[in-house]
Amino acid sequence: MVKARKDVLLDPIILHHLVFRRVLEAISRPGTIMELPVAKTGEDCLLLILESLYDNNNTFAVISVEESYRKMWSENIKIRTRSLETSVEEADFVVFPDGKGKGMLSQVRRGNYLYPELGATVFFLIEGLSDNRGIPLKISGPGIKGESIIALNGIGKEDLEILQELNKEFPLGVESIFIDKGGRFLTLTRAVRVEIGA
């Protein structure tokens, strides 16, 4: 084999390829912690993932405790993806920059039996992944060899229960991406069985 070149200039298009490839690995192996090549913070990581996936064909919503923080995120996402802001019920992707569902998580789109892919993707910015202070989850299903234990720190147990409820009727459900402050992330798909506090 001839080794591939590694000195390719990181232009935005190539960067999106590199980012999506990590997202692809993450979504095909739920619970596996991934890092992006250039993201140093959770905010960077989130925006890069959004840029690699979404554009002006998509709609989004941001849910935050503080209105000013919500607005800041909303503007950032509009600039970076050109997606259109809408209500939680209609959004293709929903961002929770505080890591808190704020009672709105249960309203995200779950798709329908004819078109389950219309289920939204939800993004949580949280404190940490797999540290000692997190809520442990036992996960199994497609993409996971046997069972795996992960821990999420910075998301409430009630929100995890809502996610469980949203995904209880496969193929309806949502995909969740949890991003920590250091720019690491993991995903949970609707097909994954989750036991909270395992």
Closest approach, Cβ 21 to another protein, in A, equals 5
- Rule CB under 8 A: choose which of 67, 113, 132, 197 binds another protein: 113
| Residue in 181, 176, 139 with CA at minimum distance from that of residue 27 | 176
> Token pair for residue 176?
């969740």
* Residue 132 lies near another protein (rule: CB under 8 A): no
Give the end-to-end CA distance of the chain in Å, rounded to a whole number. Answer: 45
* Residue 197 lies near another protein (rule: CB under 8 A): no
**Which residues in 71-90 contact another protein (CB under 8 A)?**
none
> Token pair for residue 83?
């997606």
- Rule CB under 8 A: choose which of 2, 67, 68, 132 binds another protein: 2
* Distance separating alpha carbons of residues 135 and 144, to the nearest angstrom: 19
* Distance separating alpha carbons of residues 34 and 28, to the nearest angstrom: 12
| Residue 141 near residue 175, CB atoms below 8 Å | no
Compute how many residues bind another protein; rule: CB under 8 A.
Answer: 43
| Residue 44 near residue 38, CB atoms below 8 Å | yes
* Distance separating alpha carbons of residues 121 and 173, to the nearest angstrom: 9
Closest approach, Cβ 104 to another protein, in A, equals 21
Site map for another protein, 17-56, x if CB under 8 A? xx-xx-xx--xxx----------------------xxxx-
* Residue 68 lies near another protein (rule: CB under 8 A): no
Which residues of this protein are in contact with another protein, per CB under 8 A?
1-6, 8, 11, 13-14, 16-18, 20-21, 23-24, 27-29, 52-55, 57-58, 113-114, 116-117, 119, 121, 141-145, 170-171, 175, 189-191
